[in-house]
Amino acid sequence: MALLQTIALTKRFGDLVAVNNVNFTVHKGEFLSLVGSNGAGKTTLVNLISGQVKADTGQILFADSDITTSRVSERIKLGIARSFQLVNLFDGLSVLDNVALAVFSREGKVRNLAVLADADRAVRAEAMGVLDLFGIEAQWSLLAGGLSQGERKLLDVAVAYALKPTLLFLDEPTSGVGTRDKAQIMDTVSAVVRAGTVTAVVIEHDMDIVFKYSDRVVVMHEGSMLADGRPAEIRANKEVATVLLGAPVPT
């Protein structure tokens, strides 16, 4: 069952066609990886779906609703959340406040200016629970700006996860961290996402991670869809290997 569908989605930046007539489908409950070389259009596609940039032409359908022209806030209410390639946190707030703010927003309490945020024990307990899931609960009182890069990556995902999305986009959740930390981050993220029955789309360059964690892999190249299949099918696809590695993988 398709949770998300883009129909002939196109985005141009001047003469550059960043996303070209893309028909992209995400099924409910899957862990999908979106791969491609730099400039393939992966992040632009996610930006279009999440509402950060507007599409030139085409349509975006989410849970049977046309969200092509919807505001970011409306898309979030419908259940689309995302993390960012470059970690986007509120560095002047505590780790707990970063997550609590997402909970306040989701519950429609964020406009409340007559009570102390810290006094809402239910929200704080939920935020602590999310931090616990991601293994960073011990750092709850630190400023987010004081975390290590790996912890920041996890917090970035945790903030998006706290919105309780139906569809979660993770833009390179392991970029900028060491090889050892990558596996730890992906183990944590995939366990949380699968346990929470969230549909996840991960943009990732590390093909070992892609093949290990994904149910399905979509390959983009120069703004268009190049391939779509199970990890084993993508691994065996010579055209994909040529595009991603410059030469087919020797068998």
Partner 1 sequence: MSAATEAPRAVRLRPFTMLLAVPIVGLALVPTTLDSYQTLLIAYGLIYGIAALGFNLLLGYTGLLSFGHSAFFAVGAYSVGFMVRYLGIQSMELYILVGIVLSGMVSALFGYICVRHTRIFFGILTLALSQVLYSLALSLFWITGGTDGLRVPRPNLLGGLLNFTSGGFPRFVSYYYYYVLVLFLACAVIMWVIAHSPFGKALQAIRDNETRAAFLGLRVRRFRWAAFFISGTFTGLAGTLWVPLNGLTTPDVAYWPFSGEIVFMTLLGGFRSFAGPIVGGMVYTYLKAYAVAVTDYWQLLLGAVLVVLVLVLPTGIVGAAARLFPRLTSPGRRD
Asked if residue 247 binds partner 1 (CB under 8 A), the reply is no
- Closer of 5 and 85 to partner 1 (Cβ): 85
- Measure the CA–CA gap between 199 and 203, rounded to whole angstroms: 14
In angstroms, give the least distance from the CB of 136 to partner 1.
Answer: 10
Print the binding letters for residues 24-63 with partner 1: x by CB under 8 A, - otherwise.
Answer: --------------------------x-x-----------
Judged by CB under 8 A, which stretch of 15-23, 140-148, 175-183, 206-214 contacts partner 1? 140-148
| Torsion angles phi and psi, residue 109, rounded to 5 | -100, 0
In angstroms, give the least distance from the CB of 166 to partner 1.
Answer: 14
Asked if residue 82 binds partner 1 (CB under 8 A), the reply is yes
Q: Are 204 and 190 in contact (CB under 8 A)?
A: no
DSSP H or E segment with residue 232: helix 231-236
Q: Is residue 143 packed enough to be buried (19+ CB in 10 Å), middle (13-18) or exposed (0-12)?
A: middle
Q: Is residue 111 packed enough to be buried (19+ CB in 10 Å), middle (13-18) or exposed (0-12)?
A: exposed
* Sequence-separated (6 or more) residues with CB below 8 Å from residue 49: 4, 6, 60, 62, 80, 169
Of 125, 191, 232, 245, the one binding partner 1 by CB under 8 A: 125
Judged by CB under 8 A, which stretch of 89-97, 187-195, 226-234, 238-246 contacts partner 1? 89-97
Interaction site with partner 1 (CB under 8 A): 50, 52, 72-73, 76-77, 81-82, 84, 88-94, 96-98, 100-102, 104-106, 109-121, 124-125, 127-129, 131-132, 137, 140-143, 146, 159-160, 163
